[in-house]
Structure 1
Amino acid sequence: MAPDFQNGWLYEAGIGENRAAHIVDGALAGVRVEREQVGAKLGSIVDAQFTQQWVAGSSGIATLDSGEQCLLQPLPKDLTEGATVRVEIVREALNEKGGQSKRAKARPAGEGAALVQGPSLLDSIKASGAAIHQLQAHEPDMLAAMGWHEAIEQAESGRIDFDGGSLLVSLTPAMTVIDVDGPLKPLELAKRAAKEIALALTRFDIGGSVGVDFPTLQAKAERTEVCVIFDEYMAGNCERTAINGFGFMQVVSRKTGPSVLDVMQADKVLSATLALLRQAERAQGTGAMRLDVHPAIAAKVKHRQAWLDALSRRTGRSISVAAKGDIAIAGGQVS
């Protein structure tokens, strides 16, 4: 790839995980991660059986052919339990940290709507019209060069450091909460944080309800100044409240699926496993390859032999896995 790639998407079809980085003016503006998905994709139009009415004439549960349940709202007129209804998935299921999950959301599909599978990550970035460069393992690691690993570390930890402070992004069932901390004077800290928050919401595709806890600012003019900075850097379509006297602001946007933070934090063993497979695919050398890993990762790949088979095909090397209790989950080694 030309080193002067300045705008567009970098896309990598990995083992068990596809990755995309949005580059704007030579800097990383967005990261997206797509993993093997059991549930229905956003934008899919599928047939379902109306299983249970929740609120009469308003909402209920529909069951897809796969057995997945989704929240259907609104309900078509005269729909009865047990009937077949064609629906469009408007939000994918959310698998949250700690094992909790939320059903996908659906709405009735338009009359005569054809059955369709929702777009893949590659389909979605193609639809943006921006330039796309598809990366290969034998090429220089342009994702790393653009700051991919640092961004993924932020997503995994929820901690985003910036000059003069830091953001702690916490995922809860009700909303995403962002706490601002740092040694600067409150107004300066809030101004710098406002920019970083706006950039982070776009970078990690964070939607739904977001609560931000800024430093307390007594003067309304100061709070307004901070809001203006947030609006300047916020690229996504959202609504927000003013910052109240306690420093709290709420940002609301449409949530169509898990954010990058949701994906990376839902199963940290899985995240570490897929990162190791990426490292192994890019490893130099010939002959047999051994992966020394934490026992939890060894157990994960034991049930995903297809991933090891793919690694063997892509590298032309035989693969073995050794579980070692003294290796951290994220400390797997390739030899």
Structure 2
Amino acid sequence: MAPDFQNGWLYEAGIGENRALRIEHDELAAIRIERERTGARLGSIVDAQFTQQWVAGRSGIITLESGEQCLLQPLPSGLTEGAALRVEIVREALDEKGGQSKRAKARAAAKGSALTKGPSLLDRMKQDGQPIHDVQAHEPDILGDYGWNEAMEQAETGRVDFDGGSLILSLTPAMTVIDVDGPLAPFELAKRAARQVALALTRFDIGGSIGVDFPTLTAKAERTEVCAIFDSYMTGNCERTAINGFGFMQVVARKTGPSVLEVVQADRVLSATLALLRQAERTGSGAGAMELHVHPAVAAKLHHRQAWLDALAKRTGRSVSVEASGNISITGGHVGGD
């Protein structure tokens, strides 16, 4: 049964991944993903040791009790290497494609701060103050009904199609770059794209430095109107430049962790594995055995996470086996069985 509100959160506690979808005016506005991780959460207050000065007087490397290394910025005055201090995590670590990663960022905690673990996805949703509807696997796929699968495909491919054009979202170490493409006249294409860019930034929790490459618009009045359209749909806090004569606009928003694009694209095999587990759990309970037919890389991921297979068996009441085949694509896994 669908929720009886037009604004609020849908929350699904899945196997290996918790999922949330925010509804505004009965339409998808944002999706969020929380995966199992070892790094410190945003908002955590933790003890650390100052390991190394990086930029003299400005930043350095600290080591948390867990062994995780973080960037400390700014440096408290008088801090010496080896000193103990208490810090607050202000940006979670970022995993990038190709196995690269950026350390989490921290700052000195306020005097007297107590140790605490940062809020979970569900905690942050509760702080938002909007209604929350828990979605269960035995219920109809409400997330799917509101466009979860389409939004996840956009995040995985980096492509957002709209009437008359498309956005291509590319992740780089320096910024998220959004290219606008389509057959319409430049001004019309730019106007339609401005709305889609603003919606995409909110939908996928994209922060940090963002570059948007609109079609070239020679008239300043046209560029101003496109910026106004972006502003009218951009609900998050950000700063932006004007669109220059080459069609480029830069947006800067606070970045507190990986965007949904960064989460799903950092490990495509993991994303395919978790999507299959969601599909399998929603296949339903039954007396017969369940078979997961998957690419060998997905099979390897599952065999390294036996707890996920055990959870699937417990939730569905069915025994679970994994069958690997090189003829199946990474994203082409499917559920079979009696």
Please, what TM-score do these two structures have when normalized by structure 2? Answer: 0.98
Distance 1:237 1:57 in 2: 30
SS in 2 for 1:98: helix
Question: Which residue in 1 is equivalent to 2:180?
Answer: 180
Aligned to 1:312: 313
Output the amino acid matched with 1:173: P
Q: Which residue of 2 aligns with 1:330?
A: 331
Task: Indicate yes or no: 2:32 matched with 1:29.
Answer: no
In structure 2, the CA distance between the partners of 1:3 and 1:105, relative to structure 1 (3 Å rule), is closer
TM superposition shift of 1:3? 5.2
Q: Deviations over 1:151-175 (max 9, x none)?
A: 0000000000000000000000000
2:200 aligned residue: 200
Percent of pairs with identical residues: 77
What is the DSSP-based 3-state SS (H/G/I as helix, E as strand, rest coil) of the residue aligned with 1:270?
helix
Divergent runs of 4+, >4 A: none
1:154 corresponds to: 154
- Counterpart of 1:11, as a letter, is Y
The equivalent residue for 2:301 is: 300
5 Å-filtered alignment, 1:93-104, equals: 93-104=93-104
Aligned counterpart, 1:54? 54
DSSP-derived class of the 1:195 partner: helix
C-alpha displacement of 1:30: 0.2
Separation in 1, partners of 2:174, 2:329: 32
- CA distance in structure 2 between the partners assigned to 1:149 and 1:5 by the alignment: 21
Partner of 1:290: 291
Q: How does 1:14-93 map to 2 (within 5 A)?
A: 14-93=14-93
Q: Please show how residues 232-247 of structure 1 align to structure 2 within 5 Å.
A: 232-247=232-247
What SS does the aligned partner of 1:183 have?
coil
CA deviation string 1:113-143 (max 9, x = no partner):
0000000000000000000000100000000
Query: Any gaps of 5 or more consecutive residues in structure 1?
Result: none
CA distance in 1, matches of 2:204, 2:2: 26
Provide the secondary structure at the position in 2 that maps to 1:271. helix
- Alpha-carbon distance between aligned partners in 2 of 1:192 and 1:2, rounded to the nearest angstrom: 31
8 Å CA contact 2:269–2:330 kept in 1: the answer is: yes
* Shift in Å, 1:66: 1.3
Tell me the equivalent position of 2:115: 115
- Contact conserved, 2:3 with 2:133, CA < 8 A, in 1? no
Q: Which residue of 1 aligns with 2:264?
A: 264
Q: Distance in 2 between matches of 1:286 and 1:201?
A: 44
Give the C-alpha shift of residue 77 in structure 1.
1.7
Equivalent AA in structure 1 for residue 313 of structure 2 = S
| Distance (whole Å) between structure 2 residues aligned to residue 297 and residue 219 of structure 1 | 51
Question: What SS class does the counterpart of residue 115 from structure 1 fall into?
Answer: coil
Are 2:283 and 1:280 aligned? no
- Give the length in aligned residue pairs: 335
Task: Report the Cα offset of residue 18 of structure 1.
Answer: 0.1
- 1:277-333 Cα distance to aligned partner (Å, 9 max, x none): 000001134321110100000000111000001001100111100111100111111
**For the residues of structure 2 that align with 1:5 and 1:270, how far apart are their CA atoms?**
33
Q: Aligned with 2:97: secondary structure? A: coil
Residue 247 (structure 1) shift: 0.2
Distance (whole Å) between structure 2 residues aligned to residue 22 and residue 146 of structure 1: 9
Superposed CA deviations along residues 94-115 of structure 1, whole A, max 9, x for unmatched, are 0011111100000000001000
Measured against aligned partners, the alpha-carbon deviations of 1:61-89 in whole angstroms (never above 9, x if no partner) come to 00011111100011112111111110000
Spell out, residue by residue over 1:31-67, the C-alpha distance to the aligned partner (whole angstroms, 9 max, x if none). Answer: 0000001100000000001000112221100001111
* 8 Å CA contact retained: 2:6, 2:24: yes
